[in-house]
């Protein structure tokens, strides 16, 4: 079985392949599938943005597609950056910008959560949405060298996502949780089909 992941982000692709490999599902990036589409993500929620991406890719390939939209929601910033997480600052300045905006926020008020909405459009065009959430806090400085985006400043049980190896991160992360819900759905669907 082949599923197109509506991204060319190598980190997301690696995470998805690690999660879905036990099912024998071949996860392909848009590039692997020979398509190039970059729809405007103008939704007001993570689910709306994931659906926009999934529909754009599904329209071109007519194969099962998974798309996700994820972001960091910081309580002290009224949920920002939220759906604008990737556009909050230039990619190499995401952590620094957020840390600067939180420099006067005390430890007890640095709570945050990563949220993922993952959409699966199956071979018949059926659309399903799954959500994953991981709660934590924002560090005062970068920690670790793994991961990407906000991982170096997001603390889960006092360890940054960038200090976890990929398997540890996938076990607790927002994207890992959402993708495992898709995994469970596909497992059940494949079993019912046999």
Q: What is the pLDDT of residue 188?
A: 87
Q: What is the pLDDT of residue 194?
A: 52
Helices and strands in the chain: count of H runs, count of E runs:
5, 7
User: Which one of the listed residues 69, 75, 78, 107 is annotated catalytic?
Assistant: 69
Contact call for residues 40 and 82 (beta carbons, < 8 A): no
Q: What is the pLDDT of residue 193?
A: 67
pLDDT in tens, the chain (194 residues): 899 999 888 888 888 898 888 888 899 999 999 998 989 889 999 999 999 999 999 999 889 999 999 999 999 999 999 999 989 999 889 999 999 999 999 999 999 999 999 999 998 899 999 999 999 999 999 999 988 899 999 999 999 999 998 888 888 999 989 999 999 998 888 777 65
Q: What is the pLDDT of residue 161?
A: 95
69 is annotated as an active-site residue: yes
| Whole-angstrom distance, CA of residue 38 vs CA of residue 69 | 13
Q: In sequence order, what are the residues at sequence separation of 6 or more whose Cβ sits closer than 8 angstroms to the Cβ of residue 28?
A: 2, 3, 4, 5
Q: What is the pLDDT of residue 81?
A: 97
Q: In sequence order, what are the residues at sequence separation of 6 or more whose Cβ sits closer than 8 angstroms to the Cβ of residue 8?
A: 29, 30, 31
Domains and CATH numbers, the chain: 2-193 (3.90.950.10)
Predicted structure pTM score: 0.89
The helix or strand, by DSSP H or E, that contains position 172, with its residue range, turns out to be helix 166-172
Q: What is the pLDDT of residue 101?
A: 97
């Amino acid at each position: 079985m082949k599923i197109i992941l509506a991204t060319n982000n190598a980190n997301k692709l690696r995470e998805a392949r690690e999660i879905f490999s036990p099912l024998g599902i071949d996860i392909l990036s848009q590039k692997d599938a020979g398509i190039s589409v970059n729809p405007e993500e103008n939704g007001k929620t993570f689910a709306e943005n994931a659906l926009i991406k999934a529909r754009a890719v599904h329209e071109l390939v007519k194969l099962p597609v998974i798309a996700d939209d994820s972001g960091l929601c910081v309580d002290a910033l009224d949920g920002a950056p939220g759906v604008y997480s990737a556009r909050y600052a230039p990619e190499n300045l995401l952590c620094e910008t957020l840390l600067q905006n939180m420099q006067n926020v005390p430890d007890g008020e640095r709570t945050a959560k990563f949220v993922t909405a993952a959409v699966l459009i199956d071979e018949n065009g059926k659309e399903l949405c799954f959500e994953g959430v991981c709660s934590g806090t924002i560090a005062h400085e970068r920690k670790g060298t793994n991961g990407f985006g906000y991982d170096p400043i997001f603390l889960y049980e006092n360890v940054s996502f960038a200090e976890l190896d990929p398997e540890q991160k996938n076990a607790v992360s927002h994207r890992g949780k959402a993708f495992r819900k898709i995994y469970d759905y596909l497992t059940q669907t494949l079993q019912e089909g046999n």
